[in-house]
Structure 1
């Protein structure tokens, strides 16, 4: 077995102990758990090098130090911590621990971040895909205090439940390797200037808008991006 989904399950210490039986697990889902789960530092797993994806979203019932568990895995490429009360310690860990330099995809949507936590995020230079919910005022504070956020290898960026103001639009334009850009349940303000996109994002191929508020004027300008071979989709 390579994928184990324990989402919305009652996962106790006995269940976590049984994971020792798995030797080549690649994907583990521990999201939406229905009871308290506490990780133990003396519990080791045989799939520490084979596991590449973990989902611990909606982690209200996970107790204690979750980093004890995450530190065991040396080759993670995908991590989901959407709506997580443990976001601070997780970001602190993956920003500086060399075991997480292999991380390519990070889902941190439905979280409210401090300027400090955004600074930790900005240190993850190997990310290729980021799904994020940004508070526009907090990100504005981040820019004034820390400067820009740039990911050299970022080719996919997804905003969920985010108001795209001038500072966040500038964040988008600075990701020069971007190929796919998506907005879901978000809102574009008048600071969004589509004409700037092909100039800054030469590799961009697709922009997706899913249940996102856009003015008629911005939508009209977005449709002109087809002349730059950029596909714009509305859902």
Structure 2
């Protein structure tokens, strides 16, 4: 059984699918002493039989659900998010599928250049408390980004993204941020995560961003985030 270091925890997982093994390979952990979490496949056959999708896609989704549940027990939260650094400051971009998280991260890289902007994650990231601040990791379920096996990033802000007629970004309070996050989850999932989510969101500045690729202004973007 192979072991992987993901989101500050060590996991056991043995996939037979080459594409999945390739995605996980950067996170492989050869030497470890301590607790190990089993990313088990005991219920996978039943899960696959109840969902119409390819075996590989089913395995990705099934293991992601186990991963999220195990993280929650440790007060860590899996987010559907992109993560970027802008002049060494780290921002988590959260939104529903199709709102343009990855596209916006790519736009930041295009406008700011590689010396200014880095894409840490493009799809699935984990946030957790570290002393008096938030930290974030990429995961193997992201398609792009930096392997976060050995390090995490201190979070400077969480940005809730939504498509809009024009570009706009502004700071929002904890209550508004919680409402926006709640709208992204089915009720049964939200009931499981809302306590941890509320605790973590209070530890970071939060923003609302209307995503319009045409009139995006990176200088204004940085000005608001630095305000």
Give the TM-score normalised by structure 1.
0.24
Give the TM-score normalised by structure 2.
0.25
Decide which structure has the larger Cα Rg and report it.
1
Higher relative contact order (CA 8 A, sep 6+): 2
Higher strand share: 2
